[in-house]
Structure 1
Amino acid sequence: MSKLDQLKTMTTVVADTGDFDSIAEYKPQDATTNPSLLYKAAQLPQYRHLVEDAVAFGKGRGGSALEQARWTMDKLAVNFGGEILNIVPGRVSTEIDARLSFDTEGTIARCEGLIALYEDIGVDPSQQVLFKIAATWEGIGAAEVLERRGIHCNLTLLFSFPQAVACADAGVTLISPFVGRILDWYKNAENVPGYPADEDPGVRSVTEIFNYYKHHGYETIVMGASFRNVDEILELAGCDYLTIAPKLLAELAESDGDVPRKLDPAAAADMHLPRQSFNEKTFRWAVNEDAMATEKLAEGIRLFAADTQKLEAFAHEICRDC
């Protein structure tokens, strides 16, 4: 068995891409997208029809240019999500506009709009979609409301233990700790070329969160994300889910050798891990005290917002005369 096949025996593998061919090739259970991935995918000729359809839909809704742009982006996300669900047997994660990261009510309203669009194409969002929301205090609050309504959420841009604890206490379905971006920050801050896999700061962060969740019986799924190399992935073998880019999926599929389980719920159950909790004040202070989490969360929101704006501009440029 390849390393990828072995990994699939203990971890749910998710494709981190908007490219349908890659998803079909590696046969993951689920798939995730974000504005950066959709921007890249939307520029490929084979997906142009999805962009054109979204722009036509946005124009057809009427209203201001801003309102049309919003509907275009939501329809484009649903178009890609629907196509992905024709390939994967599980769920697709659809990102909520990063510009709503500090707007609880706006996030809820955007999710409601996306739900209606998914239902229009015959997709049951309660079974087939996770809505990706930035793990800010406001985002976690929105997810808590949505989860109570049976709308499942994937809390993304998660870089710290306090974010993870708040998400679990809010009852979110899944979290996405960003392994590689944590590594990037520490390499730069400590001016080192890298770390052994078992000392990788991103790997350690996910391991801490996984053990805490399993020790206290939380049902929230831990999905490691944003990997820089296969060693990070293999060091998290046994994690609930891992979302992996096509290049790294290919490396795993082409590699042989044993893949031992590194994360184990049974082992976590025997650990001494006191329960923690955060209210708004203590949450904001704890995240503020973590320079890496503060900087990477803010940077991630800015980058996703910028890619959303680039995607908007691209969609209207290629369909100027649609």
Structure 2
Amino acid sequence: MYLLGIATLGTALFGLPQAIACSQAGCLYISPYFNETKAHDDLELWPNVEDPAAQHTMSARTLQILETYARLYKETGEEQPLLKQASFITAKEAMAAGEHGCHSATISPQVLDELSSLTYDGSKQPGEGKPKPANIYAGYNTPARHAEVSKIDPLAAASMDAKIASTDIDYLANNGEELQKAIKTDPVTSQRLDDALKLFTGGLLESKAKIEKWFEQV
């Protein structure tokens, strides 16, 4: 999406339909959340797995987005949004984003501290010694050990239509009618998006109250 000529970031993203909509809108970046916002306060909601790149429930959707953008770039030649993944709880999850092929990340101070304490091992870095392609999606291939991960979405509801994330759907038409329909059909995206919006709104109102209080004092 472009607002007055400014390329924007599509944030609070939890599924492929949202990612396709961001591509159709011309977003420069998208920010898929690896963990739902509530998991940071309630660890019972957190998929604490040994190998997040292969076992985390959001890994399939991350790879689906990357694969879809790579295909769209190949078919259309048009630039696709970059992935700036967010909402990591551990350093292993941040490293998983790099292994998947995400292009940047939003990382908390706690996870940065954990990353800084790790010993660097170049043999375990997926991009070590590999020249960057002219276009990030031109040479993208799903990492071999994750070839099967994106084919099964562990977060998908049994009732979801397999065509819900088709790139042939115009998710922006009629005020985003198809996008809203896709979000409502996916309980995970619907709930996590609602949680994220409440979090953002709460922060906005808190900031607004502080600013108004400051103006009262000057």
Q: TM-score if structure 2 supplies the norm length?
A: 0.67
Q: Looking at secondary structure, tell me which structure has more helix per residue.
A: 1
In structure 1, what is the equivalent of residue 130 of structure 2?
none
In structure 2, what is the equivalent of residue 202 of structure 1?
58
> What residue identity is the alignment partner of 2:32?
P
Q: Does the Cα contact within 8 Å between 2:35 and 2:46 map onto a contact in 1?
A: no
Secondary structure of the residue that 1:313 maps to in structure 2?
Answer: helix
In structure 2, what is the equivalent of residue 307 of structure 1?
203
Which of the numbers 284, 291, 301 marks the counterpart of 2:187?
Answer: 291
Structure having the higher Rg:
1
Which of the numbers 80, 88, 94 marks the counterpart of 1:233?
Answer: 94
Secondary structure of the residue that 1:201 maps to in structure 2?
Answer: coil
> What residue identity is the alignment partner of 2:64?
E
Cα 1:312–1:182 change in 2 (3 A) is closer
Per-residue CA deviation, residues 138-179 of structure 1 (Å, 9 max, x unaligned), is xxxxx35x2xx5211001111111000111122111100111
Cα shift at 1:225: 0.8
Cα shift at 1:257: 3.5
Per-residue CA deviation, residues 230-273 of structure 1 (Å, 9 max, x unaligned), is 11111111311111112211211221142422898432499999
The answer to whether 1:277 aligns with 2:168 is yes
In structure 2, what is the equivalent of residue 131 of structure 1?
none
> What residue identity is the alignment partner of 1:276?
T
Q: Does the Cα contact within 8 Å between 1:182 and 1:201 map onto a contact in 2?
A: no
Secondary structure of the residue that 2:181 maps to in structure 1?
Answer: helix
Q: Does the Cα contact within 8 Å between 1:225 and 1:243 map onto a contact in 2?
A: yes
Cα 1:170–1:269 change in 2 (3 A) is farther
How many residues are treated as equivalent by the alignment? 174
List runs of 5+ in structure 2 lacking aligned partners. 74-78, 128-135, 152-164, 171-175
In structure 2, what is the equivalent of residue 261 of structure 1?
126
Secondary structure of the residue that 1:317 maps to in structure 2?
Answer: helix
CA distance in 1, matches of 2:203, 2:5: 29
Cα shift at 1:300: 1.2
Cα shift at 1:309: 0.8
Secondary structure of the residue that 1:179 maps to in structure 2?
Answer: coil
Cα shift at 1:318: 4.4
The answer to whether 1:181 aligns with 2:36 is yes
Cα shift at 1:275: 6.1
Cα shift at 1:193: 5.9
In structure 2, what is the equivalent of residue 161 of structure 1?
16
1:32-43 to structure 2, matched below 5 A, reads none
Secondary structure of the residue that 1:287 maps to in structure 2?
Answer: helix
Q: TM-score if structure 1 supplies the norm length?
A: 0.47
| % same residue | 22
1:115-194 to structure 2, matched below 5 A, reads 143-144=1-2, 146=3, 149-181=4-36, 184=39, 194=48
> What residue identity is the alignment partner of 1:173?
L
Give RMSD over aligned pairs. Answer: 3.3
Q: Does the Cα contact within 8 Å between 2:63 and 2:142 map onto a contact in 1?
A: no
